[in-house]
Amino acid sequence: MIDIDISKRFSAQTEVSAKFVSDASVLALFGRSGSGKTTVVNAMAGLVKADRGYIRIDGVTLFDSERGINVAVEQRGIGYVFQDGLLFPHLNVRQNLIYGARRSGGQGGADAPGVPFDQVVDFLGIGALLARDTPSLSGGEKQRIAIGRALLSRPRLLLMDEPIASLDSGRRSEILRLIERVRDEFGVRIVYVSHSIGEVSRLADDVVLMNDGKVIACAATEEIFNRADLRPYTGRFEGGALIEAHAVRHDMKYFLTTFKFDGGELIAPGVDTPVGARVRIRIRARDVTLATERPHGLSIRNILEGTVSVIDNRGGAIAEVHVQLGGPSGSLARELLARISTQALDEMQLKTGQPVYALIKAIAFDKRSMGFTA
């Protein structure tokens, strides 16, 4: 359980205050750059001292201004993976990895399960790098080692501040997958800072949405990204719907995987996940096309039936249409979002309550945008 209520003033204009409670195994702090996310994680790590408030992790008070508690950074038992890795340049890979391994007992040490060195090295696939000097490593390798170094210090909580922001896209999905496995195989609670909807919707169970130094909302990931009132903060262009689904079959001939969710079925390029595995799929509003009749002769694989529930037309070129999929309305997760031109909206004469077909290309979502939960 993470229980935080802090504020920190930097100048007359800028103040960061955050209050939230979450028991998620991955909690994301999401918001634009400068929204105060990093200040919050730095305060959790003890690198920044809040002016007032408290920080409690799993019942242990790390900071409490009223009771005069401020546990030293090194005694908090909180691991931290920074955006730029911050490996020690004068130590080789092995020395970097074991730097934190001798964290003395007590906080986060004694009660945390021991993490064998070899297991972490195997897990990260860095056996061949152990004797290498760190400045010669690639960005992805550095981040792997930074994660391993943090894991070996046996933290009770792992903070990750934009850990893949400075990597190229290939390395990004690789490290993201690794972080999912850290969560599943090491059972470490993670606080993940990012401004990327893709990363957050893939990894997080709960999201703390921050803007301008304040917490706008703290809720389950699906709710944050599907709630209409939060759209100004979650971003319009990148906006979309988040759907919980599970894999039902693989098509070996065409390398496609079919996923089933409340509102129907989705076909996507094949992913190597077992049948039955739960998957979170984000369908971006700009990838959704609408039709008033069931179309024929199209390459589009996914044709979902639904009804128009909300039309958000603010003038200009683009309107957003919410489509309630499948049966009766209710669950937010069953709603799709489509960005279409206002011209199309007028020509199609769309109205609330009208039946429509939502079309999504199979290749609109690939495994990079999917989050797997074990």
Partner 1 sequence: MLSKEELEIVILSLKVALASVIFSVPLAVACAWVLARCTFPGKTLFDAAVHLPLVLPPVVIGYFLLVMFGKKGWIGSTLDAWFGITFAFRWTGAALAAGVMGFPLMVRAIRLAIEAVPLRLEWAARTLGASRWRVFFTVTFPLAIPGLAVGVLLAFARSLGEFGATITFVSNIPGETQTLPLAIYNLTQSPGADAAILKLCIVSIVLSVAALAASEWINRRVHRVEGGMIA
Note the residues at the interface with partner 1 (CB under 8 A): 45-47, 72-80, 82, 86, 88-90, 99-100, 102-104, 109, 133, 135-136, 149-150, 153, 159
- Helix extents (H) in the chain: 37-45, 93-99, 117-124, 139-152, 169-181, 197-203, 221-226, 231-234, 342-348
At 132, list the tokens. 């290498």
- Measure Cα distances from 307 to 7, 215, 240, 303, 364 in Å: 44, 33, 17, 13, 22
Q: Residue 79 or residue 239: which is nearer to partner 1 going by CB? A: 79
Q: Give the phi and the psi of residue 209 in degrees, each rounded to 5.
A: -90, 120
Closer CB to partner 1, 76 or 367, in the complex: 76
**How far apart are alpha carbons 340 and 317 in whole angstroms?**
8
CB of 31 to partner 1, least distance (A): 21
CB contact at 8 A, 249 and 258: yes
| Nearer of residues 11 and 104 to partner 1, judged by Cβ | 104
- Residue number, 102 or 314, with CB nearest to partner 1: 102
- The secondary structure of 216-267 as a DSSP string is EEEEEHHHHHH-GGGHHHH-STT-EEEEEEEEEEEETTTTEEEEEETTEEEE
CB of 374 to partner 1, least distance (A): 27
Least gap, CB of 142 to partner 1 (angstroms): 12
Query: Token match 């279409």: residue?
Result: 340
Structure tokens at 24: 């998620």
**Beta carbon of residue 182, minimum distance to partner 1 (angstroms, whole number):** 16
Nearer to partner 1, 186 or 313 (CB): 186
Whichever of 111 and 265 has its CB closer to partner 1, that residue is 111
CB of 51 to partner 1, least distance (A): 18
If the CB atoms of residues 162 and 244 are measured against partner 1, the closer one turns out to be 162
* CB 73 to partner 1: min, Å: 4
- Closest listed residue to residue 275, CA positions, set 304, 251, 303: 251
- Strand, helix or coil for residue 179: helix
Q: 153 or 258: whose CB is closer to partner 1?
A: 153
Q: How far is the CB of 144 from partner 1 (least distance, A)?
A: 15
- Identify which of residues 78 and 178 has a Cβ nearer to partner 1 in the complex: 78
346 Cβ contact list (under 8 Å, min separation 6): none
By beta-carbon proximity to partner 1, the closer residue of 10 and 237 is 10
Distance of alpha carbon 264 from alpha carbon 266, whole angstroms: 7
Place of tokens 């004797």: 131
User: How far apart, in whole angstroms, are the C-alpha atoms of residue 255 and residue 272?
Assistant: 10
Distance CA 360, CA 350 (A): 19
How distant is the alpha carbon of residue 171 from its chain centre? Answer: 16
User: Measured from the CB of residue 98, what is the shortest distance to partner 1 in angstroms?
Assistant: 10
What is the closest distance, in whole angstroms, from the C-beta atom of residue 294 to partner 1 in the complex? Answer: 56
Compute the least distance from the CB of residue 68 to partner 1, in Å: 20
How many angstroms separate the CA atoms of 303 and 359, rounded? 5
